[in-house]
Structure 1
């Protein structure tokens, strides 16, 4: 049989003559064997011959266009089996040359990528031809703003083999502000270099090797979005408004408040020494008397004097220009009992109380009562406070030999900062004010 050349996806035929050299009528079965058997047929597949006669059969080759049918030479054999004399089987052979074809399938994902400077793509390539190829990639764009990098750059693929190539697209400079910039580009895939399995006499190129390019684009987004400019403008406007309007007003108000704080406030004794004369009362309130400055009338004594105010119910008068004084009462009380602590005002003095501070630093539970002389000032539940202070603009005057008294009923000692519960309640009272001498 002659050599047969066939193209994948096409059809080729050859012939085989069968002759009966026996002396009886013989039937012959023809069967294709070898690598070409799946896509080769014999027509007819069975012939009957008289002695000395022959018949020519047609061998039809139809290889599919598939990477499984490799390009190159393949052996073709036809087994001729006599029915009556099977030992006389014959297997004539020939060579079939399968032509090569090139077919690449490429897919680019994604087709659109966003980024500041670079974008990454995936290029899937499959060799659907029947000969090994080395693949090359050719990017294209209207300008030269983009740089392309392939990894791997030129893969070699066997028939039916697939691979994935990484593509990185990079721009030369960033976009700082404004709208995104769209950079379209194309990508062409083709076979490069010498291909294996080609015939030396093959000079015509494979038209299927030329494929349309793939279209894609890289969207370069700005480093700073548009809304950031608006935010910066608003912040700048607020900053200017602060320095031009708000800051001067705040500084002026703060300066006025500071001036009010640093201005000295006259003490009650100084006010009395200034020439006013007030009638004595239990609360220490003062009001100017008629008759002009420096001279007044005392309802309790019937006489008045300059710089003198009446006592607080003890029949004496206080001399102006008293002295600041502070006393502390430290009281401990066992659970379930009531204890008292006091400070007694010295003879020939009047204690004008302006401030008291009460400390329940253990967090005890119970009741505390504070009294000035016979006058009860307040009663407090200990569990409602840790530190409490009271202040009076007009001093509360306590005459000589009267007391500042603190009375505590301890219900439950608290837990101080040490973390261990105390054995007894412990309260501290600090009383401050002005002590003035009196004249009987």
Structure 2
């Protein structure tokens, strides 16, 4: 009952970007007319087709189908052997379905690129460039980076020169260029240099750059110095011709006025002193009378006390977002690859990281996409999208906020990911795994 299958070739080899075919024979071992459905199982199913996918066979009859393998020419399919299976499902007897197994060998291909950023820099003492080595092939490539200075006018230094670039990734190197000679004034000098990436299996790849060396003294310094000297001369002439005589005349008039004012003040002080003397004499007479009255049996009166008032202030909001317990945590995503860019998977803060009665205050965010996934990532507060970016735009990206982001229990922090193309080495699992790290504080009780 059911079906038997056989592959004409169980071991195949294919170059990425090209196709190879294999024939599979299907026999109806049952006693009834049966319909058989063929499909592919294994890691090669994304780039493998079978035709026809459905065939109807009389009892004891044979049918032939073609299996076509077409791996894409990119880093999503690593070089090496990929097992596959052609499954034949019987409609009349599904329990006796069969699978024909084989192996397709994906041949390696190389696609190495070298980029220098910026190609031209300007400096007075030192310039910094970035070297980017991209591996768009399907296997790791060891690379040696060499600098060259044809005119021997620069000191070129790499932070490291040997590296292994994984498929579908980029390696970054920092290059410092320091001119041997300096000059105070003069025209800009153009100093060319080159960078070469070599691998034992590839021809050398070259990139050229230029350092534009400028004079040590800024070009604006001499005009500013001349203008300042001219302004000083003009101010000196104005001082001796106009300002100084005017100041002297004004000083004499001010002296006269001050002397008159001082004389008037002295006369007023004399009058006030005489009035105070009269008042003191009157007070002395009153005091003598009070003493006489007390001697006659009189007594002093009672005394009172003033009462003060105290007040208090209170924060009406109940939460101070500038203080609180430090907190940091990481949200790691595990999004399924989907063709529709509008479909998102949501990921929450790890359980137990944020207490239910606390307000989360975020001051720092680090976005990480080390595998080179392609898609969209959103940071949300409740239903509001605070930040949205494409995964292909970054590998590591950090933000620091002067005005922090505040998340309350009714508007929690979530991460949404729409995954279109997982990066290496995830295409086999169909998962995108970017992550976001957060740092901040916990304040409480929660506002609202």
TM-score (norm 1): 0.48
Q: Which has the greater radius of gyration?
A: 1
Q: Which has the higher helix share?
A: 2
TM-score (norm 2): 0.47
